[in-house]
Structure 1
Amino acid sequence: CCNWRGIECNNETGHLQILDLHGSNMHFLTGNLSKLEYLDLKVNSLQGPIPSQLGKLTCLRYLDLKGNYVLHGEIPYQIGNLSLLRYLDLGFTSLSKAIPFHVGNLPILHTLRLAGSFDLMVNDAKWLSSLSSLTNFGLDSMPNLGSSGHCHNLQELRLRGNNIDLLSPHYPNSPSLVVLDLAVNDLTSSIILGNFNFSSTIQELYLEECGFTDKSFLVPSTSIKKSSSSLVTLDLSSNLLKSLAIFHWISNFTTNLHALSLDHNLLEGPIPDGFGKVMNSLEVLTLSSNKLQGEIPASLGNICTLQELDISSNNLSGKIYSFIQNSLILSSLRRLDLSNNKLTGEIPKSIRLLYQLESLHLEKNYLEGDINELHLTNFSKLMELDLTDNSLSLKFATSWIPSFQIFRLGLGSCKLGPSFPSWLQTQSQLSFLDISDAEIDDFVPDWFWNELQSISELNMSSNSLKGTIPNLPIKLTDVDRFIILNSNQLEGEIPAFLSQAYILDLSKNKISDLNPFFSLEYLDLSDNKLSGKLPQSLGTLVNLGALALRNNSLTGKLPFTLKNCTSLYMLGVGENLLSGTIPSWIGKSLQQLEILSLRVNRFFGSEIPTGFGYLLGLVSLNLSRNNLNGEIPDEIGNLNLLEFFDLSRNHFSGKIPSTLSKIDRNLGLCGEQLNKSCPGDETIAKPQGLAIDGEDDNSIFYGALYMSLGFGFFTGFWCLLGTILLWQPWRIAYMRFLNRLTDYILETMEVNMGKCHRWLTG
């Protein structure tokens, strides 16, 4: 076994020394482990308590049990017997109760991480001080931290997600700190460097999501400039900073920064041009998701050390030419993200001089013009390119072979067509591809479908793709595969390999046949040419969450096996030719349903199944335009989350539950919603004649006005619409139009309300 991966033995004695089994789901250890020095079992799905026998591995120097979320119980005190232990990580487990004092009896332990162990507590304030060799300490997400004492040799301290007080005498601090992580703590009352004097040795400072506002930086940064020369990484992201004065504060605080993150704040206004001139050591600058305006300052293009620049999701405008006019200076740039702004103009050919680029995101802007081979000539390292939602035309020669192998490619809404882009055949590493709405009017070549073995997210919707999808013997291995092919002209049957996807959208095509399905969780085949009965194999999709088959020509009954799809939250089979009674198993088996649409079919029967009362999460129910009759069961009135309910154009009768609406064109119904009394209801006469006594002279004027309006309406109605209503061909066409418009509006409202409800309820 010494030759197995992750296992190493002593060459002389043969004893096991290293066991690296992380992520292997190995739940037991056998053999002679008395000389074991290295044990890595992180992310191993371990369950139960930590065995106390670990305390007998007295030669152990490294122990990592992180990420075993089901590991529970106390930390065995026997771990304190491991006197040679240098590294211990018990983070992100379900361990509980107090950290045993014996853990402090580890004289040469230099790294201790207990992150995410929410139920661990500290009862002895001296336990940390006894770890005299400790240099790396992590207690992330431990709100029960309490008092931990001091450790003067600490170089790395991570207290992310705790209830800490920077002024507390029990706050663990060290004059030799190099890395300090206080992120995700409530520090709204703190004034940076006013309440707390950071060590002059700190090189990395993480303060994201601490609730900082502009008031947190009131202390003049010039007063502490000399103590901050060592800082190279500063993260202030996800706070509440608004003022651009933060740029001035940082530039005075330190000019040696290599990485600065100010993303996800509320910064508003133009990026100060002088900032790029002063911060000439920056390698990573992140300003995304703010409210920054104006043009991209040219000074940012003069930072020769810059490797990553992300200013996406702002309100920046102007052209990008001035920023990259000195492309040779930016030759170190590896990642550039200017997406989701208001940038205009063309992409200059000089962008090709950024030959180190690995990721380029320019999507969701107002860029225009042509892109050809010259723009991408030197991008041999490019792995991500996204130009989606611009007005760009890509004009590549059919013989063009890119110098890169790209993983993520987004060209949605760019003009690629009319031919299918043949150069994609050279991209064997594609994982994400979006060429939707790209004006492609062509057959999809067979070689492309073979590429789906590596593509996990594919969007080719809203083109004019033609032909059939070949039934290839390929296996889609990615469990979260998205395949979006709607709004094309694809025809034929659905090949078996596509049904291995997680989400499959083939709506608005010419698909005419269904094949057996396997692991789908979202299937949309609306607006196709499907006919015949629904296959019983639909019942094998036990993980199916959404099934949309609207507007086809399906016949017969809903397959009984569909009751096995207990995860369904949306079932839409409206506008077909389905018949029979509404199955009672819908309410009993599909209790996760939120949207149910059986509208415009041929369902009949004398009642709605009372089992529908089990659908407590139902938001939208549409049974309109069928041949249903009988009374509405009282159980329907108990669906408290129901927001859209339509029984119109059926033959229901009897009393309406008081919580329902949309029940027009059911002449036998009665209730207060229709202002129609039911048999046995008490009739209350409305008082008459009160208006006569209140008449005045104005009534003559208004009477004449209303008569004039009525005459005008009568004349216009017969002049403009009379012809339509009296001439049969026009009348039929007009009524069809109104019916389709009404159905479309109702269907859209129904689906959107369901989506909104799912979004609000998380």
Structure 2
Amino acid sequence: MCRLQRLYLENNRLNGTFPSFIQNSSWCNRHILRTLRLSYNQITGKIPEGFSLLSELEHLSLQENSFEGEVTESHLSNFSKLEYLFLSHNSLSLKFGSSWMPPFRLRSLGLASCKLGPNFPSWLQTQSSLIYLDISDNGLNDSAPAWFWNKLQNMYELNMSHNNLIGSIPDPQFMLSSRPSINLSSNKFEGKVPSFLLQASELLLSANKFSDFYSFLCGNITATNLATLDLSYNQIKGQLPDCWKSVDQLLFLDLSNNKLSGKIPISMGTLVNLEALVLQNNSLMGELPSSLKNCNNLIMLDVSENMLSGPIPSWVGESLQQLIILIMRGNQFSGSIPLRLCYLKRIQLLDLSRNKLSEEIPSCFKNFTVLSEKSIDRIETESRVHWYNSTYFATYTVFSYSYYTLHIICMWKGVERSFRSKMILQSIDLSSNNLTGEMPKEIAYMLGLVSLNLSRNSLSGEIPFEIGNLRKLDLSHNSLSGRIPLGRHLDTFDASCYEGNIDLCGKPLEKRCPGDERVTKCEGGEVHDEGDDSALYGALYMSLGLGFLTGFWGLLGPLLVWEAWRIAYMRFLTRLTDYILVMVEVKIAKCQRWFKD
């Protein structure tokens, strides 16, 4: 082991404590181990102080294990050649003094989910060569000093998310030549979004207190590389800026859960590369601008929980045929569902609930090709929606290992369900509108559809038997009538799926259908009152009487008339009686022997 230079043991099932050859290595005159990678195992215990004897280490990777305890200055005091240090996702507490001067100059540092705070680590100021830094979820409860932001000039990736960092971010005038991926989400940064961050390729700023991004978007800087901008869950007020041409390379844009108002600007139609546009839960109003039809690469459009009005434009179906997710829930859209919406052959999640839509449900929904397939290629879907796509390398930095996941909020019976990594798609929700007419039987042909919500409309007619292929169903509060079809899943759904339809009957509702009560009484032997069906029961009793007489005289009549038949019948009865008596005697004898034993 003294002559070993590189040891790669990551992604195994190694457990136990730290390897003993390192702890008891005093027999080595000089270690020459340069790379030690033990990540993604199940190693437990503390990192021993003898570990510092590995003074030639350049790359140390211990992340994703179960190490615990403290890491002090003495653990790292001999590592003057260390360039890559990864300790993320362990239960480690890093105890370094405020005046500590590390002997190394790191290029990559990963300390995610370790205890580093509450103060911002001042020793990072000595690390002038960092290109990768992950200090997310470190318990930092401080402001980031001005000197820190200057380090972004050379970085490829920065992750400081899920801390309690406060204050505003300065706006220095320098170039970010490496197109970094910057994740500052889930902190308490406030004020304006600084315009120098436009030079990033991925900018995740969600769950902060930013209040303004007008100068960020409408300044003198053109974002030639910005592919992802997530400003969701902030405090941005006022109208959307009308200068989106400066960020026309955007692929993902999420401005949900802010305080935006006014109309969607026409210049958003210049985002021709956009794949996801999320404006959910703001106060936007007016109609969807027709310029959005230029965004024909969209796979997700979410404008839910706003005050948008007017008809659903036909161009949504004509021009946005790549859509997988279309969510327009909780607005004031009116009129009928346009037939051209059926052009969305790739659609898997369609939510038009809580609007003012009227008229009938189009029967052409069967043209939703993906939902008509019994099995859906989830790998292909998730690779488009979730995973970092290799075709984005022209925009993103090639050194970034991050990927952007869409935030999707679905509703089922008034309960929000949030998805980021794995989605339950294959859903249509048209609830809480003014839809009329019968349920189209063509929906039954959508074999890939998992859930269907048509509740709180004015649908009439009977429930198609074929619709029982679905696994989730809500038809409550309509004007449906008739018996709930038996078989498949329709009679196994909860009664709440059918409540509020006064003319609907059968299981699982407590209301019986006409004719059910009469059959029950007949089976119980109860006497029926005479009424409208008295003629039917009279004919039934007459038939029973004729059948009895025919059977009775068919047997006894010949016996009374012909003597030979009487003699043969009496012989048969005698033999049958003798046989029964013999069998009874045999059984009695066996029982006596059993009791005697």
TM-score (structure 2 length as normaliser) = 0.69
Quick one: which of 2, 8, 32 aligns to 1:256?
Answer: 32
Write the letter of the residue equivalent to 1:531: S
Equivalenced residues, count: 446
Q: d(CA) in 2 for partners of 1:473 and 1:367?
A: 37
Shift of 1:550: 0.5
Is 1:597 paired with 2:432?
Answer: no
* Partner in structure 2 of residue 510 of structure 1: 283
Secondary structure in structure 1 of the residue aligned to 2:256? coil
Quick one: which of 187, 193, 201 aligns to 1:421?
Answer: 193
Shift of 1:375: 3.7
CA contact (8 A) 1:440 1:463 kept: yes
Q: d(CA) in 2 for partners of 1:343 and 1:314?
A: 12
Secondary structure in structure 1 of the residue aligned to 2:229? strand
Which whole-Å deviations, capped at 9, do the CAs of 1:181-222 have from their partners, x for residues lacking one?
Answer: xxxxxxxxxxxxxxxxxxxxxxxxxxxxxxxxxxxxxxxxxx
Extract unaligned runs of 5+ from structure 2.
Answer: 372-424, 485-489, 525-597
Q: Following superposition of structure 1 onto structure 2, how do residues 104-123 of structure 1 map, counting pairs within 5 Å?
A: none
Is 1:441 paired with 2:220?
Answer: no
Q: What percent of counterpart residues are identical?
A: 30
Q: d(CA) in 2 for partners of 1:356 and 1:443?
A: 31
Which whole-Å deviations, capped at 9, do the CAs of 1:618-663 have from their partners, x for residues lacking one?
Answer: 2221111101111110011123xx1x31111111111223243311
Q: d(CA) in 2 for partners of 1:453 and 1:474?
A: 8
CA distance 1:376–1:464, shift in 2 (3 Å): closer
* Partner in structure 2 of residue 636 of structure 1: 467
RMSD: 2.7
Max Rg structure:
2
Secondary structure in structure 2 of the residue aligned to 1:563? helix
CA distance 1:526–1:251, shift in 2 (3 Å): farther
Shift of 1:571: 0.2
Is 1:547 paired with 2:375?
Answer: no
Q: Following superposition of structure 1 onto structure 2, how do residues 302-321 of structure 1 map, counting pairs within 5 Å?
A: 302=77, 303-316=79-92, 318-321=93-96
Shift of 1:246: 2.4
Is 1:583 paired with 2:362?
Answer: yes
CA distance 1:554–1:620, shift in 2 (3 Å): same
Which whole-Å deviations, capped at 9, do the CAs of 1:703-724 have from their partners, x for residues lacking one?
Answer: xxxxxxxxxxxxxxxxxxxxxx
CA contact (8 A) 1:409 1:432 kept: yes
Shift of 1:286: 1.2
Moved more, 503-512 or 677-686: 677-686
Quick one: which of 493, 498, 503 aligns to 1:660?
Answer: 493
Is 1:569 paired with 2:348?
Answer: yes
CA distance 1:559–1:378, shift in 2 (3 Å): closer
Extract unaligned runs of 5+ from structure 1.
Answer: 1-224, 688-762
Q: d(CA) in 2 for partners of 1:551 and 1:666?
A: 24
CA contact (8 A) 1:563 1:590 kept: no
Is 1:238 paired with 2:11?
Answer: yes
CA contact (8 A) 2:433 2:457 kept: yes
Greater helix content? 2
Q: d(CA) in 1 for partners of 2:315 and 2:360?
A: 21
Q: d(CA) in 1 for partners of 2:99 and 2:483?
A: 75
Shift of 1:336: 0.6
Shift of 1:320: 5.0
Secondary structure in structure 1 of the residue aligned to 2:263? strand
Shift of 1:243: 0.8
CA contact (8 A) 1:482 1:502 kept: yes
Q: d(CA) in 1 for partners of 2:20 and 2:257?
A: 48
Shift of 1:444: 1.9
Q: d(CA) in 2 for partners of 1:547 and 1:450?
A: 32
Which whole-Å deviations, capped at 9, do the CAs of 1:411-432 have from their partners, x for residues lacking one?
Answer: 1122321x2133xx23463101
Secondary structure in structure 1 of the residue aligned to 2:508? helix
Q: d(CA) in 2 for partners of 1:359 and 1:251?
A: 33
Q: Following superposition of structure 1 onto structure 2, how do residues 240-389 of structure 1 map, counting pairs within 5 Å?
A: 240-246=13-19, 248=21, 252=25, 255-275=31-51, 277-302=52-77, 303-316=79-92, 318-322=93-97, 326-330=100-104, 332-376=105-149, 380-389=153-162
CA contact (8 A) 1:355 1:380 kept: no
Quick one: which of 648, 651, 658 aligns to 2:476?
Answer: 648
CA distance 1:669–1:378, shift in 2 (3 Å): closer
Write the letter of the residue equivalent to 1:602: N
Shift of 1:499: 5.5
Q: d(CA) in 2 for partners of 1:679 and 1:460?
A: 58
Q: Following superposition of structure 1 onto structure 2, how do residues 466-485 of structure 1 map, counting pairs within 5 Å?
A: 466-473=238-245, 476-477=248-249, 481-485=251-255
* Partner in structure 2 of residue 615 of structure 1: 446
CA contact (8 A) 1:460 1:484 kept: yes
Shift of 1:350: 2.8
Q: d(CA) in 2 for partners of 1:381 and 1:523?
A: 35
TM-score (structure 1 length as normaliser) = 0.55
Q: d(CA) in 2 for partners of 1:573 and 1:376?
A: 44
Q: Following superposition of structure 1 onto structure 2, how do residues 186-197 of structure 1 map, counting pairs within 5 Å?
A: none
Q: d(CA) in 1 for partners of 2:338 and 2:95?
A: 57
Is 1:538 paired with 2:371?
Answer: no
Greater relative contact order: 1 or 2 (C-alpha under 8 angstroms, separation 6 or more)?
Answer: 2
Q: d(CA) in 2 for partners of 1:603 and 1:450?
A: 48
